[in-house]
Chain A
Amino acid sequence: DTEVTQTPKHLVMGMTNKKSLKCEQHMGHRAMYWYKQKAKKPPELMFVYSYEKLSINESVPSRFSPECPNSSLLNLHLHALQPEDSALYLCASRGQTDTQYFGPGTRLTVL
């Protein structure tokens, strides 16, 4: 089973709201990733966690705050977002091979 789940599927939020995106995998993978994807563009890497430690932050604004509470769960906390942050947010995980397995994504709309 190579399933990565993400909730919610859709999220609409105002610029003053605080919300969180959730990603979960039960494959025993120790690396997890957050990507942002705008329409008609490839995914852009935001964060990488390896063994529950933040390993890469691609200069993402502080209004995005990642968290890895345990080896199966990855959160992305959102606060004071801008309309240009509207996008599809994808989570991925990787085990011992080089393959990343992607979740279905959360479609975020910021009003």
Chain B
Amino acid sequence: AQSVTQLGSHVSVSEGALVLLRCNYSSSVPPYLFWYVQYPNQGLQLLLKYTSAATLVKGINGFEAEFKKSETSFHLTKPSAHMSDAAEYFCAVSDGDNFNKFYFGSGTKLNVKP
């Protein structure tokens, strides 16, 4: 069975500082991994995804994530936080079977201080 753990339900950074949101997965098969962002009262927007083509994945809005199989991690980073990055971030894993059922982490709320 798949599972995802996001360490830190709340992360607070200053504007301009590095953003690091952590995601660890458990998968019995090579995973497909995703990061989504959700702004208040909106749907989920895809930030980036890993599908085995490259271990360093670049996404939208300056975000990137690195797949590390040895650490079963897929942490999300951004070199310099912007106020508009304040949102909820979800990591998800899919095994590609079973109609691509997603297993979501519990989410990390990012707060950006001026």
Contact = CB atoms under 8 A, between A and B. Distances in A.
B49 A107 contact: no
A66 to B, nearest CB: 14
Interface in A19-63: 31, 40-43, 45, 48, 50, 55-56
Interface in B91-110: 94, 96, 98-102, 104-107, 109
A98 interface: yes
Interface string A77-105: 00000000000101010100111111111
Interface stretch (B14-22, B36-44, B63-71, B76-84): B36-44
A90 B44 contact: yes
Nearest to B36: A102
A101 B106 contact: no
Interface residues of B, number: 24
Nearest to A10: B41
A42 B44 CA distance: 10
B107 A90 contact: no
A81 B82 CA distance: 41
A36 to B, nearest CB: 12
Nearest to B109: A40
A105 B104 contact: no
A66 B98 CA distance: 19
Interface string B14-56: 0000000000000000001010100001111110010100000
A6 B43 CA distance: 10
B90 interface: yes
B101 A98 contact: no
Contacts of B46: 99, 101
A55 B43 contact: no
Contact of A42 (B32, B34, B43, B105): B105
Interface of B: 32, 34, 36, 41-46, 49, 51, 90, 94, 96, 98-102, 104-107, 109
Closest 5 CB pairs of A and B: A42-B104, A102-B43, A102-B44, A98-B32, A104-B43
